[in-house]
Amino acid sequence: MDTTYDGIIIGAGHNGMILAAYLGKAGLKVLTIERKSVTGGGLSTLEDPRHPGFLHNIHAFFQRAITNMPWYTDLELERHGAHYIEPDLNVALLTRDNAVLGWWTDIERTAKSFEQFSPKDADTLRRWHHEFVPIVQNILSWEAKAPPLPLEQRRRLLERSAAGRRLLEVSSRSPLEFVQEEFEHPTVRAGLLFFNGLREVDLRVRGFGHHIAALLASPAKAQISRGGTAALARALDAAVRESGGEFRLVTEPKRIVVEKGRAVGIETTDGELIRATQFVASSLNPHQTFLNLLDASLVPKSLRDQVTNFQYNLLAPLFALHLNLHEAPRYTASTRHPELQRALMVIMGLDHFDQFGDILRHHEQGTIPPTAMWGACPTSLDPSQAPAGKHTGFMWEKLPYRLKGNPDWSGVGDRHGKKMLELWQTHAPNLADAVIDSFTRTPMDTERSLPNMREGDLLVGAFTNGQIGDHRPFPGAGTYRAHLPGLYICGSSSHPGGNITGLPGYNAAQIILADLGIKADWVPPPIEEHLSRLD
Ligand SMILES: Cc1cc2nc3c(=O)[nH]c(=O)nc-3n(C[C@H](O)[C@H](O)[C@H](O)COP(=O)(O)OP(=O)(O)OC[C@H]3O[C@@H](n4cnc5c(N)ncnc54)[C@H](O)[C@@H]3O)c2cc1C
């Protein structure tokens, strides 16, 4: 077997595969190695082994604006079988008294829903949407699709345009301050913080005040993959193979091989040496890449300290309850809001924004907060994910990775799953007789399944601790180049971060091709040029 490639990528999650496909299209011979027996990482759909035909998306399910992503079009993923559904009612928050706060793909319908709670908040929503549409279009969406600029250079460029100055001004607040200062109704505040904030950033941290306005203004709404999330993994896998790329599954690196100070390949845990003439790129977390896979003599103390100080999200780990159902949940609130039966994400147990402080305190103490959860009935939008006439459903809850200091959830998980089901039944009483079978997954299961999601952090690194932009994962490694020639990073611990965006892989491809002197027609113009042209 030929064991020399132009490049080796470690980890066949979506970021690794997007990088592999672009580099393959540029004519490079690329091998991607993956410890599991399937590609996709967080793009995973399991068929319940006890109930054939019931599919469960155990990691990513709600995917934001996949069809708007440049790689989705460039890699022709629909030709490779991907298909996305974008439900009109993207998010519905059910209050204890069965009122519904809805977030629609159409902002005016969202404003009308807000009006039921507070006409003033509905007007505030319209105002922020209007003001932020050009900021999202002209600045934020460009920045996400480009290697990040040094923070000072970015600031100087943004200060040159009115939109840039406004962005800097709004971001100087925290999401919590933004919501408290701009909106009045407790349910509206809770909803905005939840579906725009809690899932991604620490709400108390200044520098993210623009986050909610940006998400409200973004054309990017939640979508789901027909046939299950893994359908996107299969499409990416096919695109990689079509570009000439190869995979080695059930293969783990023991170390990254470095010769004369340059990364030149990997040695597998089976002792095989696989060489790379141009690059090695890791989509794993900084602990894995720099501490586990590089000989300690190759990692200077200052870098070792940076890795050791890299922080994972306290609030990201998820606990999941998955159900096989005879019928879809029938919400009591749907008698007044029939559209609820076609909602994508449903949130329950969250009525007041004060709950966030409580959730945070429980995470710090390693205890379980009162349940606030969100999830979906995938089969009400995509019947192909269950046998004919049957359904699946799931709910997620943010729960601490460690319960009272111990990540072992044995004996607690099923009990907690029952509590979640009880809350679900208060809103959808038919679930009492509809459940065929169920299972739960804990934050520890996430880490076992995907070790790059250390401590169950599905975003693979916090956005606090300065870990953003060209300081993600840490200063000196923010442009996908590691400290050794030929070594790159390309996963969620790089800009712009976790979730299914594919942008760390997309941006890393730009950097690797530039370093190799290969021109590619898909590469956008340099971000500094774009920002300096704004009025
Ligand atoms: C419960 C849960 C729910 C989520 N829900 C959503 C959601 O609704 N929407 C959303 O956008 N995101 C969601 N996410 C987050 C999303 O799945 C991740 O942010 C995303 O998968 C990260 O992509 P990646 O390519 O960087 O890493 P991954 O998808 O984790 O891929 C990394 C790959 O590297 C492999 N690997 C790890 N260690 C090694 C090793 N030593 N050797 C070889 N290979 C290795 C892994 O097996 C994996 O295939 C969720 C995650 C979880 C856990």
Token reading at 152: 């000072």
Ligand 1 centre distance from Cα of residue 57 (Å): 12
**Ligand 1 lined by 149 (C-beta under 6 Å):** no
Among 269, 492, 506, residue to substitute to test ligand 1 (most atoms within 8 Å of Cβ): 492
CB atoms < 10 A from the CB of 265, how many?
23
| Burial class (CB within 10 angstroms; exposed 0-12, middle 13-18, buried 19+) of 521 | exposed
- Amino acid (one-letter) located at 370: P
Distance CA 370, CA 416 (A): 11
pLDDT tens digit at each of 535 positions of the chain:
458 999 999 999 999 999 999 999 999 999 999 999 999 999 999 999 999 999 999 999 999 999 999 999 999 999 999 999 999 999 999 999 999 999 999 999 999 999 999 999 999 999 999 999 999 999 999 999 999 999 999 999 999 999 999 999 999 999 999 999 999 999 999 999 887 655 666 788 888 899 999 988 988 789 999 999 999 999 999 999 999 999 999 999 999 999 999 999 999 999 999 999 999 999 999 999 999 999 999 999 999 999 999 999 998 999 999 999 999 999 999 999 999 999 999 999 998 878 888 988 999 999 999 999 999 999 999 999 999 999 999 999 999 999 999 988 888 999 999 999 999 999 999 999 999 999 999 999 999 999 999 999 999 999 989 999 999 999 999 999 999 999 999 999 999 999 999 999 999 999 999 999 999 999 999 999 999 999 8
Ligand 1 centre distance from Cα of residue 146 (Å): 21
Distance CA 263, CA 259 (A): 7
pTM of full prediction above 0.75: yes
Angle at Cα 197 formed by Cα 158 and Cα 95, nearest 5°?
A: 145
Ligand 1 centre distance from Cα of residue 285 (Å): 11
**Ligand 1 lined by 252 (C-beta under 6 Å):** yes
Residue 209 and residue 177 in contact, taking contact as beta carbons nearer than 8 Å: yes
Distance CA 157, CA 395 (A): 43
Helix, coil or strand: residue 367: coil
Ligand 1 centre distance from Cα of residue 273 (Å): 26
**Ligand 1 lined by 284 (C-beta under 6 Å):** yes
Distance CA 282, CA 277 (A): 16
Q: What number does the ligand 1 atom closest to the CA of 491 have?
A: 26
**Ligand 1 lined by 115 (C-beta under 6 Å):** no
What lies within 8 Å, CB to CB, of 292 at 6+ separation is none
- Amino acid (one-letter) located at 239: A
